[in-house]
Amino acid sequence: MQPLRERLMTRLLTAEGYLSGTEVSQDLGVSREAVWKHIRALRREGFVISASPRKGYLLLDVPDVLHPGVVLPSLTGAFGRPYHYHGVLSSTNDRAKELAHAGAVEGTVVAAEEQTGGRGRRGRLWHSPHGGLWFSLILRPTVSPAEIHTLSLLVSLAVVQGVEELLGIRPDLKWPNDIILDGRKAGGVLVEISAEAEQVHYAVAGVGLNVNITFFPEELEAFATSLKIYTEKETCRARLLGVILKTLENSYFRWCREGFAPFLKDYKERLCCLEKEVVVDDAGRVFGGVVLDVEAGGRLVLGLPDGKTIHLSGGEVTVREGSGP
Ligand code: BTN
């Protein structure tokens, strides 16, 4: 069962009008004094709650937190249950891998307000201060390790579709899974798996999205952006998380059955590097060429200056100056 504070928050968030102190204390099986104690604690966390001796409690404003009491009411599917919440964590992917190793079920989510050791692709550090959306989802896909490659593309597509649904803006994607606004990186996806030759034990899909962040360290300033910088508005991260998880859940089970092919059109429509001149750095092997296509298996098809075509499974794409983002 959820802790009392979360159940109280859920009641406040879903109440139509005032929540009677007597009724809620009976429902939750605690004294009215205990309810009042938790109301005061919630106020200290930034919740604005009006208390009237005759009418009860009325929630007037919710702080931008990823607390389960705020997130759980916005979840409509199975993804996000169980939900593990941390104020500060080294890396949600690391914690999710520990949980997955210990048997956590598919759909389990680990979220943190802040990461001190957030990790990006290719062993890079991921800047993860308060205000971003940093979470990891445990999946147990019944696909072979060879088929898992497109999962990160699928996750990045669900993230931009979720952003579009909630905010009405349409971020681009840069192969394989960078989330781009105005040519700058607003987010990314890091999928890590545990597998044997024939079987995937689990996959952890880590999502990092710069939501309400406005300052970046000097070395990132020229390349990074956020939803807040782009929209000039704060976004409710709890609602965004709910929408992204729902979108991903809808596409994930189809991907398990049919692979990435049904999603390729939507993915390619959002791709900012298609038909652009790029440089691809694939673990030190550097290729210049034009992006011709992305295959259903997730590989990038690059046309080289000598007319040859190569197919790349991984790499860092930089779109050449004057050729687009
Ligand atoms: C990238 O390099 O583009 C991928 C970045 C992924 C960052 C996210 S934040 C949540 C999760 N935990 C991590 O340590 N990394 C991922």
**Predicted local distance difference test score (pLDDT) of residue 323:** 59
**Predicted local confidence at residue 325, as pLDDT:** 45
Structure tokens at 8: 């109280």
Ligand 1 center–CA 273 separation, angstroms: 21
Identify the pLDDT of residue 121.
94
The C-alpha atoms of residue 154 and residue 161 are separated, in whole angstroms, by: 10
Residue 23: CB atoms within 10 Å: 12
Q: Are 151 and 162 in contact (CB under 8 A)?
A: no
pLDDT at 6 over 70: yes
Ligand 1 centroid from CA 83, angstroms:
18
- Please give the distance, rounded to the nearest whole angstrom, from the Cα atom of residue 34 to the centre of ligand 1: 39
- pLDDT higher than threshold 60 for residue 1: no
Greater confidence, 71 or 1?
71
Dist. CA 323 → ligand 1 center (Å): 27
Mean pLDDT of all residues belonging to the chain: 94
- Provide residues with CB under 6 Å of ligand 1: 91-93, 115, 118-121, 124, 126, 128, 134-136, 178, 188-190, 206-208
Which residue's CA lies nearest to atom 15 of ligand 1?
119
Q: Which tens digits make up the pLDDT trace of 251-296?
A: 999 999 999 999 999 999 999 999 999 999 998 999 999 999 999 9
**Cα separation, 5 vs 37, whole angstroms:** 10
**Cα-to-centroid distance, 115 and ligand 1 (Å):** 10
Residues 6+ away with beta carbon under 8 Å from 46: 63, 65
- Single-letter amino acid, residue 130: H
Strands (DSSP E) found in the chain: 48-52, 56-61, 83-89, 109-115, 133-139, 172-174, 178-181, 184-195, 200-209, 277-282, 285-294, 300-303, 309-312, 316-319
Is-contact 186 179, C-beta < 8 A? yes
Which of ligand 1's atoms lies nearest the C-alpha of 132? 9
